[in-house]
């Protein structure tokens, strides 16, 4: 087990599974029933495998059937991503898409896209809410650089999570969890 494990301390469990190939749904398909929660998550240029694994696990917790990642995001099948997802990677699809193109497709399907950005509107001031007929998607940028200018300008709106402490920012997975928890509360605990 020690020789086969990618970790210093072997977990004592080994599984051989096929890597799923999941075609990303079109924006119109995603807005229809059967694709999880009435809100979604897209990730641009996330590089930390622990963050991506935690995001996948968080998406699973809130009922998302999948998340979108850009091609330069860390490999979803990186051993550290798999470990941090705690098995959620087997329930949540990870679809690779160009994020600006995805945003345009989502807009054409009537989906509101909100980029997480320190210069955005405070979350608690956000009007409206996601519903089954009015879906929303949060767009999360890289840990160190945030959203690219192209993505920032393509989003329907930008929002930030107000805080009272002195920390410069939140961990990417934590920020996504707060947004998804708030949106879940707004739609009645989906």
Strands 39-43 and 66-69: parallel
Sheet containing 39-43, strands listed edge to edge, beginning at the edge strand earlier in sequence:
93-96, 66-69, 39-43, 136-140, 112-122, 157-160
Residue 134 phi, psi (nearest 5): -135, 80
Q: Each residue of 37-77: pLDDT tens digit?
A: 889 999 999 999 999 999 999 999 999 999 999 999 999 99
**Does residue 153 surpass a pLDDT of 70?**
yes
CA distance readout (Å), 189 to 21, 45, 186: 30, 29, 7
DSSP 3-state assignment of 78?
A: coil
Are the beta carbons of 114 and 64 closer than 8 angstroms? no
Are the beta carbons of 140 and 181 closer than 8 angstroms? no
- Look up residue 15 and give its two tokens: 């599984």
Instruction: Say what percent of the chain tops pLDDT 70.
Output: 96
pTM to 2 decimal places: 0.91
Between 14 and 97, the more confident residue is 97
Helix, strand, coil share (%) of the chain residues, nearest 5: 35, 20, 45
**Domain regions of the chain by residue span:** 27-161+168-186
Beta strands in 5-84, from DSSP E residues, in sequence order? 39-43, 66-69
Q: Each residue of 8-36: pLDDT tens digit?
A: 887 788 778 887 777 888 888 888 765 67
Between 82 and 3, the more confident residue is 82
Q: The domain 27-161+168-186 belongs to what CATH superfamily?
A: SPOUT methyltransferase, trefoil knot domain (3.40.1280.10)
| DSSP per-residue string spanning 109-172 | TT-EEEEEEEEEEEGGG--S--BTTB-EEEEE-BTTTBS-HHHHHHSSEEEE----SS-S---H
Helix (H) or strand (E) holding 93: strand 93-96
CA 141 to chain centroid, in Å, comes to: 10
């Amino acid at each position: 087990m020690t020789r086969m494990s990618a970790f210093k301390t072997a977990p004592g469990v080994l599984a051989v599974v096929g890597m799923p190939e999941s075609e990303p749904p079109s924006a119109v398909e995603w807005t229809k029933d059967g694709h999880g929660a009435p809100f979604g998550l897209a990730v641009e240029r996330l590089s930390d495998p622990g963050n991506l694994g935690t995001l996948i696990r968080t998406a699973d917790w809130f009922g998302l059937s999948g998340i979108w990642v850009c091609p330069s995001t860390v490999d979803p099948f990186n051993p550290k991503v798999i470990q941090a997802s705690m098995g959620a990677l087997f329930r949540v699809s990870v679809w690779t898409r160009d994020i600006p193109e995805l945003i345009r497709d989502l807009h054409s399907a009537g989906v509101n896209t909100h980029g997480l950005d320190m210069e955005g509107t405070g979350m608690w001031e956000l009007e409206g809410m996601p519903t089954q007929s009015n879906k929303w998607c949060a767009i999360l940028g890289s840990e160190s650089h945030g959203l690219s200018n192209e993505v920032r300008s393509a989003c329907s709106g930008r929002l930030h999570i107000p805080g009272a402490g002195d920390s410069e920012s939140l961990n990417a997975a934590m920020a996504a969890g707060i947004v998804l928890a708030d949106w879940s509360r707004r739609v009645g605990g989906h």
